[in-house]
Amino acid sequence: MSQERIGLWLIGAWGGVSTTVAVGLAGLQAGVAPETALVTSLPKFSRLKMADWSQFVIGGHEIRETNYAAEAEVLYQNSRVFDRDLLNAVAPRLAEWDKNIRPGTLINVGSTIEKFAGPKTLATRGEKPAAAIKRIRTDIEEFKKANDCAHVIVLYLSSTEPPLESDASSWDWAKLSATLASGDSSPVPASTIYAIAAFELGCSFVNFTPSVGSNLPALAEFALKQKCLHVGRDGKTGETLMKAVLAPMFAARNLKVMSWVGHNIFGNMDGKVLDDPINKANKVRSKDHLLTEILGYKPQTLVSIEYIESMGDWKTAWDHIHFEGFLGTKMSLQFTWQGCDSLLAAPLALDLVRLTEREHRRGKSGVMNHLAAFFKSPMGPHEPEFAKQFIVLEKWADEVAAQQ
Ligand SMILES: NC(=O)c1ccc[n+]([C@@H]2O[C@H](COP(=O)([O-])OP(=O)(O)OC[C@H]3O[C@@H](n4cnc5c(N)ncnc54)[C@H](O)[C@@H]3O)[C@@H](O)[C@H]2O)c1
């Protein structure tokens, strides 16, 4: 395997998950971070000539003005997310990557996200969509050249946007591209603007958030035209992972789920954004559709997501599942999931980048359906149960191994 450099371009580059991705990657490069929780380090996948961690270099877009050291310190102080020795060991590498972060775009992000923007991003307000795409593209192009990258993967880790409001979800690429080229305002949000810039450059696009990103027919068409890979949406890290594992058990035993209530509390910046009912709608939808898909009927469901500041990055979900057994007897299962949000998400994000790079090296394009196990709302045709999704991933691994 060649040792070419690979660009990892983070959108939302100084957010909680991105900062943890940067700290984790720098730790792996320095040989001071263990590979626990990395799926691609399992023997089934590590045999696939995956890219070495040392090959990756980070750049990105962000709307706030800060740096990795400051953001890692916040995670450490509020939630004890990292080990102090690890932070000291990776500080020089993080400072290098800070220099590759550029101001993002605020197109259709909504007022809650706009409030976070620093002066450099605010100065871009009013930028036409075509100009924003060109600016984003230039930033990525310059980074690619300066770092001599063979390929750049754009990893979307930005705040959850409000749901798409225009009818662009039914447009083809000709209509969307013409509208963006001529218009003062955009029919699509920032996540899609970033995806278009990525595809124009031949980059892969991975959407770890519930935002629309490349999940539009027009973008599917454009990705194929540009021979680009893409995948999403919304990383399946905690409570929804439990749902995708437990719901098939109820279905297989013919136990009738009558209701499934999930209360989520957490206190990080993502929680603050999701406190806005408009942004929250996107996340709730992403967490709620799964049960009907797996069970084949819709039980009564309630998903609540509340911002509780003192919880910091420790997201706690309490789920109550009320089900009917033999002779109509009602029973219940309750579980509490207490996970550190950034530390659950970051290894999956790193896995997705490595798996995308491997698929790019095979010359593939389009939606990576085999990565459904990583997402709450996978794009493209997929099995909803986690175990079946993982079998699909293992089959892909066997296919890649057979070609090596
Ligand atoms: N942590 C998890 O377990 C998990 C799981 C699944 C999905 N996600 C999603 O991942 C995303 C990131 O989560 P987080 O905890 O890091 O959130 P965060 O709020 O800490 O980070 C988001 C970052 O994006 C930046 N940003 C906002 N709009 C931007 C724009 N238009 N351009 C560039 N940067 C922009 C913000 O300034 C912030 O730094 C969220 O959408 C979240 O819902 C997280």
Q: How far is the CA of 338 from the centre of ligand 1 (A)?
A: 20
pLDDT of res. 1:
54
Secondary structure E strands in 12-141: 56-62, 101-103
Q: State how far the Cα of 105 lies from the Cα of 125, in Å rounded to an integer.
A: 8
pLDDT higher than threshold 80 for residue 24: yes
Q: State how far the Cα of 57 lies from the Cα of 54, in Å rounded to an integer.
A: 8
> Which tokens hold the place of 387?
């175990």
Please state, as a whole number, how many other Cβ atoms lie within 10 Å of the Cβ of residue 321: 22
In order of their start, the domains of the chain are: 5-234+343-403 (3.40.50.720), 239-340 (3.30.360.10)
Percent share of the chain, pLDDT over 70: 99
Please state, as a whole number, how many other Cβ atoms lie within 10 Å of the Cβ of residue 301: 18
> Which tokens hold the place of 259?
């209701």
| Residue from 14, 115, 233, 270 to probe ligand 1 pocket by mutation (most atoms less than 8 Å from CB) | 270
> Which tokens hold the place of 381?
């045709």
- Residue 178 contacts by C-beta under 8 Å, 6 or more apart in sequence? none
Q: State how far the Cα of 174 lies from the Cα of 20, in Å rounded to an integer.
A: 38
Q: How far is the CA of 271 from the centre of ligand 1 (A)?
A: 10
pLDDT higher than threshold 80 for residue 232: yes
Q: How far is the CA of 398 from the centre of ligand 1 (A)?
A: 33
Could you say which DSSP state residue 327 is in? G
- What is the four-CA torsion angle of 194, 244, 247, 159, rounded to 10 degrees? -40
Q: What residue's CA is closest to ligand 1, atom 8?
A: 209
Q: What residue's CA is closest to ligand 1, atom 11?
A: 157
pLDDT higher than threshold 60 for residue 326: yes
Q: How far is the CA of 118 from the centre of ligand 1 (A)?
A: 16
Beta bridge partners of residue 207, listed in sequence order:
156
301 φ, ψ to 5°? -130, 150
pLDDT of res. 166:
83
Residue type, 32: V
Q: How far is the CA of 249 from the centre of ligand 1 (A)?
A: 32
Residue type, 253: R
Q: What pTM was estimated for this model as a whole?
A: 0.96
Q: Give the tens place of pLDDT for each residue, 151-166.
A: 999 999 999 999 888 8
Q: How far is the CA of 373 from the centre of ligand 1 (A)?
A: 20
Percent share of the chain, pLDDT over 90: 88
pLDDT higher than threshold 70 for residue 2: no
Q: Which residues are near ligand 1 (CB < 6 Å)?
A: 11-12, 14-18, 61-64, 104-106, 109, 113, 116, 157-160, 190, 208-209, 234-235, 237, 268-270, 273, 341-342, 344-345
pLDDT higher than threshold 90 for residue 334: yes
Q: Parallel, antiparallel, or unpaired for β 229-231 and 366-367?
A: parallel
Looking at ligand 1, which atom is closest to the CA of residue 283? 43
Q: What residue's CA is closest to ligand 1, atom 40?
A: 159
CB 24 within 8 A of CB 346: yes
From the list 299, 250, 301, 293, the residue with the least C-alpha distance to 384 is 293
Beta bridge partners of residue 174, listed in sequence order:
none
Q: Give the tens place of pLDDT for each residue, 193-208.
A: 999 999 999 999 999 9
Which residue pairs from 140-146 have beta carbons closer than 8 angstroms and sit at least 24 positions apart in sequence? 140/7, 140/9, 140/59, 140/197, 140/198, 140/201, 140/203, 141/201, 143/7, 143/9, 143/59, 143/100, 144/7, 144/201
Q: Give the tens place of pLDDT for each residue, 250-302.
A: 999 999 999 999 999 999 888 888 888 888 777 777 667 889 999 999 999 99
